[in-house]
Amino acid sequence: MSSTLRTILDKIASTSQRHGTNGAVRLVAVSKTKPPELIRAAYDAGQQHFGENYVQELVEKANHPLLCDLDIRWHFVGHLQRNKAKLLASVPHLWMVETIDTPKLATSLNSSWSNLALPQKLKVMVQVNTSGEESKHGCPPEGTVELTNHILQSCPQLDFTGLMTIGRLSHDYSQGPNPDFELMHQLKLKIVDQLGLLEEKVELSMGMSADFEEAIAAGSTNVRVGSTIFGTRTYN
């Protein structure tokens, strides 16, 4: 576990140095379907950020005796239904929700978070369906400015942090740069310009096991790596 993590962190560091992001790239270890024991081993090896896709699974893990007292920073990276916003907000050590894709969902999460009366805002990202595939969630690229603006203007308990995409799962890099990553860069420039944001304050969450180095080269500051850390997943 610790040598796998070390290898990935080394690759992240060298890629981010080469591309000017300079160490400011966060590794989120995506632990969906993996048991608390493996998450604990990664935490003990120094990993702090973990990502989960299903609300119920995250609730169980965040409250698990092996994990509940640790200083873990949980990222929710799965599709969120509005009727689960309240349950998700109640998760201890929830640090970021990366998958806001409608104004209504943002509003629900804002009010759930506000009911908890915590001192800190909840960090969120806008998920964009950059590939336009029907199987993918996310707001359409042309809705990014409006949804971001809704969060900034109408959701005072949410801290807008950046944009997230899953994108096409297999891009052949010998054919050129990944169009999903390029589109994300354009969308970032667009919201910076149209909403008056600081460019260095807008993060991009993109890149998984297969392509996190290419994603960093394209401007990612938050890579989500699962199977390379924890092994391939089996679903029942």
Looking at the Cβ atoms of 157 and 166, the one nearer to ligand PLP is 166
**Binds ligand PLP by CB under 6 A, chosen from 208, 215, 216, 217:** 208
Looking at the Cβ atoms of 157 and 208, the one nearer to ligand PLP is 208
Residue identified by tokens 């297999």 is 170
166 binds ligand PLP per the rule CB under 6 A = yes
Write each residue from 107 to 146 as x if it is in contact with ligand PLP (CB under 6 A), else as -, in one continuous string: ----------------------------------------
61 binds ligand PLP per the rule CB under 6 A = no
Answer yes or no: are the C-beta atoms of 50 and 39 closer than 8 Å.
Answer: yes
77 binds ligand PLP per the rule CB under 6 A = yes
| Helices marked H in the chain | 2-18, 36-44, 55-62, 85-89, 103-116, 144-154, 179-195, 212-217, 227-230
3-state DSSP call for residue 52? strand
Span of 19-27, 59-67, 178-186, 206-214 interacting with ligand PLP by CB under 6 A: 206-214
33 binds ligand PLP per the rule CB under 6 A = no
| Dihedral-angle region of residue 207 (phi above 0 means left; psi in -120 to 50 means alpha; beta otherwise) | left
Helical (H) or strand (E) element with 116: helix 103-116
